[in-house]
Structure formats: structure tokens, C-alpha cells
């Protein structure tokens, strides 16, 4: 993803794990991180030669995709800051030469705070390592990568092996994606598990944080994204029945329906929390949308 204000391309190395088995290590050690970054730079520049003229920074620690898809792109902001503050001579012999720097575990094998993944989001069959490109050629390189990575971004065999060995992971597939590609894949996964209605709110928070977005599609919870947060209507049983089950007279079915509705609200809130989108529950006495304004 290209940010014209920062001249940065944001991408990820996506690891599809065999049988969903989590990696043994949270991050590569410093030496392995540097070697992996060189391999990544080679793979990207083979696809798009303009990458050779960009600085490349890789966070050689793995994260849940939701951690990359958060407002303000915090993972990639950390990589960009680390890259910007790294001494140029540490990665290249002279000024003006593009750098490739991998950030991994420290000398004691500990993972420093900028590279620590959210423990609540551990597990899952897909893990990502964020990387950024910076420099005068990034607009050209980024535009081409945005077009090519989804179809042609499979990592070379030695790159995948370096990831597998460095993380102690059983890697089924390793590929490079843009952040937009990752967002599109996540949206598809949400559709597959019945969370498509919620994605519109997540997408607004990520890509158009200043807009207003409504979710007003019964039987889904009533929600509104505005001012950087999602407001979800909190209904008592009578208000829920008025909005969602006005024609139902069976008491047991009403009770079960309300329980399922509350579970759906909790599910929405949990997903939004994973994307670091603040949630506020707002009591709505009559079930009308005006309470969220």
C-alpha cells in the first residue's frame, strides 16, 4: 500500500502454516533476519527492478493479519521508524546506497517490544511479517508491486526455507502481498465465516477514517462507525423484539433469538477489538437508529 504523504510501500510476507501449527519462535535472530531481508529484496527486485533503488525494512517477527490491519498501520509504522533511525552505514557501505535491514530478536534471543505480537491473537493458520519500502523510487516500485504481488508474489524456495528454519515453522506456502492484498484476502475470509456485514465498518476505519459508515441490516446488530469508533446499539429484550422479532409470539424462540443476538454483538466487538477499532455500546431504548447519532 502506498502512502503519498510518507512515500512508503507497505507489504507483508504471508505464511500459510501446515495444519495451523504455530511457529516455535516469535522472531528470527538478528543474523537470520538480515539474511532473510536480503533474500526478500532479491525476490522483490526480480519481480520489480525499481525495488533495488528503495530502502527495505523487514520486521522478522510474525503477527496475526489483524495486527497489520489496524488504523494508522501501526506495525508498518514501527518498521518505517526503525528503518529511518537505523545508521545508514550499518546496512550499506556508503551514503546513497539503498539499504536492506531486518529487525529480529536481540542478542539474548529476546523479542523487543516493537516486535512483540499480540498474545491474544496467537494461533491461526496465517501469520504475516510486515515490510516497508522507502525512497525516491517507491512510487514506481509500489505501483508495480500492487499490480503483481497477488498473482506472482510467491517466495523463492530458499526464502521460504529461511522462514521455516528461522521461525521453527511448518510452512505450507510463503508469499509476498501488499497491504491492500491482505485486506482483500481478509475481507474474503470474513465473508466465508459470515462476517461480511462487519467488514464495511473495519474497512472504513482502515481506509477512510473520517467518513461515517452504518450497519443497519437486520437481523445484524445496529452499528455506526464515526469519529474513529464503532457505536453498537445496546438493546433490552423489548427493544430487540420490536426491531427484530415483532411478529414472533413464542417465548422460548424469543429468548433464544435474543441470546443469539447478544452473542453476535460480542462477536462483532471482539473482531473490532482485534483490529484495534474502539467500540462503544450505546443504550437504545426503542431500537431506533437515532440513539447512535
Domain finish residue from 134, 159, 190: 190
Torsion of CA 254, 257, 259, 262, to 10 degrees: -120
Q: Do residues 67 and 94 share a domain? A: yes
Residues 25 and 126 in one domain: yes
Q: Which three cell numbers stand for residue 92?
A: 550499506
Domain range enclosing 255? 194-292
Same domain, residue pair 13 and 144: yes
Cα distance between residue 230 and residue 244, in whole Å: 21
96 with 70, same domain? yes
Q: If the chain, 293 residues long, is cut into consecutive pieces of 10 residues, what is the mean pLDDT of each piece?
A: 65 94 93 97 97 96 97 95 78 64 87 87 93 95 97 97 96 96 97 96 96 95 97 95 88 94 97 98 88 89
* pLDDT for the residue 51: 97
Which of the listed residues 190, 221, 247 is the one where a domain comes to its end? 190
Q: Which pairs with CB-CB distance under 8 Å and at least 24 residues apart come from 234-237?
A: 234/265, 234/281, 234/282, 234/283, 234/284, 235/261, 235/284, 235/287, 236/285
| Domain shared by 84 and 41, yes or no | yes
| Contacts of 93 by beta carbon, 8 Å cutoff, 6+ apart | none
- Rounded Cα distance between 149 and 144, Å, is 8
- 165 and 86 in a single domain? The answer is yes
- pTM confidence score: 0.92
CB distance 124 to 64 below 8 Å = yes
How many Cα atoms sit within 13 Å of 133 on the Cβ side?
A: 31
Instruction: Write down the pLDDT at residue 1.
Output: 52
Number of domains in the chain: 2
Rounded to whole angstroms, the Cα distance separating 196 from 203 reads 11
Q: Pinpoint the alpha helices (H) of 209-248.
A: 237-244
Helix-helix angle 237-244:251-274, to 10 degrees:
90
Residues 151/58, Cβ–Cβ less than 8 Å = no
Amino acid at each position: 500500500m502506498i502512502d503519498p504523504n510518507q512515500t512508503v510501500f507497505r507489504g507483508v510476507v504471508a505464511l500459510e502454516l501446515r495444519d495451523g501449527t504455530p511457529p516455535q519462535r516469535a522472531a528470527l535472530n538478528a543474523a537470520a533476519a538480515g539474511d532473510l531481508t536480503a533474500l526478500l529484496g532479491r525476490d522483490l527486485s526480480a519481480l520489480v527492478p525499481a525495488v533495488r533503488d528503495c530502502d527495505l525494512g523487514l520486521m522478522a517477527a510474525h503477527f496475526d493479519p489483524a495486527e497489520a490491519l489496524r488504523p494508522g498501520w501501526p506495525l508498518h509504522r514501527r518498521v518505517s521508524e526503525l528503518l529511518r533511525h537505523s545508521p545508514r552505514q550499518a546496512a550499506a557501505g556508503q551514503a546513497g546506497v539503498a539499504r536492506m535491514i531486518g529487525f529480529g530478536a536481540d542478542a539474548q534471543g529476546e523479542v523487543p517490544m516493537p516486535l512483540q505480537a499480540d498474545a491474544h491473537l496467537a494461533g491461526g493458520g496465517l501469520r504475516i511479517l510486515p515490510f516497508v519500502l522507502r525512497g525516491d523510487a517507491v512510487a514506481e516500485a509500489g505501483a508495480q508491486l500492487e499490480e503483481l504481488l497477488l498473482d506472482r508474489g510467491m517466495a523463492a524456495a530458499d526464502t521460504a526455507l529461511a522462514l521455516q528454519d528461522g521461525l521453527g515453522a511448518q510452512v505450507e506456502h510463503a508469499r509476498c502481498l501488499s497491504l491492500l492484498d491482505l485486506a482483500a484476502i481478509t475481507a474474503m475470509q470474513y465473508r466465508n465465516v459470515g462476517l461480511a456485514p462487519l467488514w464495511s465498518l473495519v474497512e472504513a476505519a482502515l481506509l477512510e477514517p473520517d467518513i461515517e459508515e452504518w450497519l443497519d441490516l437486520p437481523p445484524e446488530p445496529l452499528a455506526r462507525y464515526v469519529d474513529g469508533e464503532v457505536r453498537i446499539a445496546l438493546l433490552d429484550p423489548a427493544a430487540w423484539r420490536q426491531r427484530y422479532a415483532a411478529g414472533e409470539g413464542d417465548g422460548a424462540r424469543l429468548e433464544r433469538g435474543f441470546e443469539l443476538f447478544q452473542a453476535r454483538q460480542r462477536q462483532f466487538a471482539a473482531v473490532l477489538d482485534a483490529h484495534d477499532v474502539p467500540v462503544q455500546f450505546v443504550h437504545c431504548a426503542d431500537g431506533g437508529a437515532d440513539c447512535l447519532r
